[in-house]
Amino acid sequence: MTLLFKRWFQLLSRAGYNGMTAYEFHYSENNLWTRWDLFKIDPSDNSLSVYVTFDYDGMGRLVQLAVFDMPGNVPRTRTLLEYDNEGKLTGHSYYDLLGPNPSMPEQTAVYTYNAQNQINVSTVRDKNGGLVNRKTLSYFPNGVTKETNDYEETVTHQLRLKGRALYSLPNTDIIKGWEKIAVIPVDGYEIARQAQYETIQRYTYNNGVLTHNTGETMSAKEYNSDGTLKRVTSTTKFILPVNPDIVNNWEYEYIQQ
C-alpha cells in the first residue's frame, strides 16, 4: 500500500496595522496566491477598500492581475503578463477599465534580464509610445533586491533620475510564509519589505534635484515558534524635508494548508 503525504505550507493570511486590518491574503488549493484584500486604514472605517485577483495558467504562471474597487466590486484595471516560447516573462499590458477605451492597453512594459536571469530593467510606455517609466534593479548575491532606480524622459529624450530606493542586506533570502508574495514581477519585494529588510532609504528627484528623502527602519521583530514573523515596528524618518517620525506597528497571521 502506498501512502501519500501532503506537504503543508505556512502562508501569510493577514497583516495588521496599528490595531487595524491592513491586508488579507487568499490562496488556491495549490497554494497559489489568488486574492489580495486591502482595507481602509482609518479607525472609524476599516472596511475593505480594494482587492486584487490573480489568475494563473496551467503551468502555474501568473497571467493576469485585476483590481476591483469597493463597494460594488467595480473592475478598475487589468494587467496581462506575457511570456515567450521558452516560458520567460517578457512584459505586461495594462488596461484602464474605467477609461475611454478599456479594450486597448493604456500602457505596455518590456522586461530585460541580467546574466543571472533576473529582471534588471522594466520599461513602461503609454499607448502612444511615450516613456512612462524606466526602472532598473540590482540584486544582492542571494538574489534579493538591493537597489531600484526610476527614470523619466526629458524633452530632449534623455533619461533623468526621478526616484531611488536602497535596501539593506537582508538576513536571509527566504521569508517563511511570505514566499508566494514575490509572484508580482518587479514590485513583489516591496510588499514583503518589513519581513525582508532592516532599513530602506528612498529618494525623490524633480528635474534632477533631490526634493524628498525618507528612511524606513524595521525593529523589534518578533517571531512565532515556527519561524514566521509575528510582529515588527516600522519607523519612517523624514530627512528632506524634515518632519516628525511616523511609527507603525505591524502584526501578521498565517494559515497552514
Note down pLDDT in tens along the chain; length 257 residues: 445 555 678 999 999 999 999 999 999 999 999 999 999 999 999 999 999 999 999 999 999 999 999 999 999 999 999 999 999 999 999 999 999 999 999 999 999 999 999 999 999 999 999 999 999 999 999 889 999 999 999 999 899 999 999 999 887 666 899 989 889 999 888 988 999 999 999 999 999 999 999 999 999 999 999 999 999 999 999 999 999 999 999 999 999 98
56 CB-near residues (< 8 Å, 6+ apart): 32, 62, 63
pTM check: above 0.75: yes
Sign of the CA dihedral running 195, 196, 198, 199: negative
Indicate the residue type of 110. V
Q: What one-character DSSP code corresponds to residue 4? A: P
Closest CA to 257 of 9, 12, 14: 9
CATH number of 10-256: 2.40.160
d(CA 39, CA 61): 27
What is the grid cell recorded at 104?
486597448
